[in-house]
Amino acid sequence: MGEWSFLSSLFDALQVHSPMLGRFWLLLMLVFRILILGTVAGDLFEDEQGEFSCNTLQPGCKQVCYDDAFPISQYRFWVFHIVLISTPSLIFLMYAMHHHNKRTMQLSQPRFSQLISNPAREERHLRQLYVINVAFRLVTEVGFLIGQWWLYGFRVEAQFPCSRFPCPYTVDCFVSRPMEKTVFLCFYFAVGVISALSSFAELVYASLKWFRPTGEQPEERVCNCQNLRNLQQEETQ
């Protein structure tokens, strides 16, 4: 139960500093990527190399043909994608939790310590880090979409001709369950497109909403300085 409480607190921190589009991206990541990849894709791709067969008994031919057909395993490619795209978000969540704990400690200090700190500036710094996180996520999404299209296209062929050494001639190799893998390939690509569009919309929305210039900051700064000056006068008296 302690592990679930820790994860719940991390997601609460993400919801505080992210708009609704960020929560939608989190839903895509948890349900349509991690859950689907860990259940359906795990059973579909776990024996892909073992069931990749070629019509030859030449030693080593099957291995080089499989490497030629799939330079990177689709399953490992998607796992690496999830790890790379989730790491900046987890780092931001841990930083946000540290910031929240630090603010809680400051609130327990005397009133003089509260006035020295600048909550508006700290909140703006957190929002800047979150926007950088979304921008990195968007670039990563687009990069992996291009990489998946370049490596695999949109169809897994049932038959793959191969003539690499040490194959004695052009042999035919066969992929197991090509239709299921084609459906999953297109499904994962569609989820990536939706996630990239969501990240782009979130980046534009957060940039316009959070960093639009307003005239309220100078007045707030004057008010904070005046309160600090009054407190110093009270302590002197």
Q: Angle between the 74-107 and 2-17 helix axes, to the nearest 10 degrees?
A: 80
| 17 domain-assigned | yes
| 42 domain-assigned | yes
Q: Residue 38: give its domain's CATH number.
A: 1.20.1440.80
pLDDT at 221: 44
- List the chain pLDDT tens, one digit each, 237 residues: 444 355 445 555 555 556 677 778 888 887 888 888 878 877 777 777 778 888 888 888 888 888 888 888 888 899 889 888 888 877 877 777 776 666 666 666 655 455 445 666 767 777 788 888 889 989 999 999 999 999 888 888 888 888 888 888 888 889 888 898 899 899 999 999 999 999 899 888 877 877 665 544 444 444 444 444 554 454 455
Full residue range of the structural domain in which residue 153 is found: 10-53+70-159+178-209
| 149 domain-assigned | yes
Residue 209 to residue 205: CA distance in whole angstroms: 6
| 39 domain-assigned | yes
pLDDT at 117: 54
| 169 domain-assigned | no
pLDDT at 19: 67
| 215 domain-assigned | no
State the residue for tokens 């689709």.
Answer: 74
Q: How far apart are the first and last CA of the chain?
A: 53
| 168 domain-assigned | no
Residue 15 to residue 35: CA distance in whole angstroms: 21
pLDDT at 228: 42
pLDDT at 186: 92
- Contact indicator for 168, 56 with CB cutoff of 8 Å: yes
| 153 domain-assigned | yes
- Contact indicator for 32, 62 with CB cutoff of 8 Å: no
pLDDT at 139: 92
**DSSP of the chain:** -HHHHHHHHHHHHHHHHS-HHHHHHHHHHIIIIIIHIIIIIHHHHTTTTTT-EES---TTHHHHHHHHH-SS-HHHHHHHHHHHHHHHHHHHHHHHHHHHHHHHHHHTS-HHHHHHS-HHHHHHHHHHHHHHHHHHHHHHHHHHHHHHHHHHTT---SEEEE--TT-SS-EEEE-SSHHHHHHHHHHHHHHHHHHHHHHHHHHHHHHHHHS---SSHHHHHHHHHHHHHHHHHHHH-
How far is C-alpha 232 from the geometric centre of its chain's CA atoms?
Answer: 47
The count of structural domains within the chain is 1
pLDDT at 66: 87
pLDDT at 146: 94
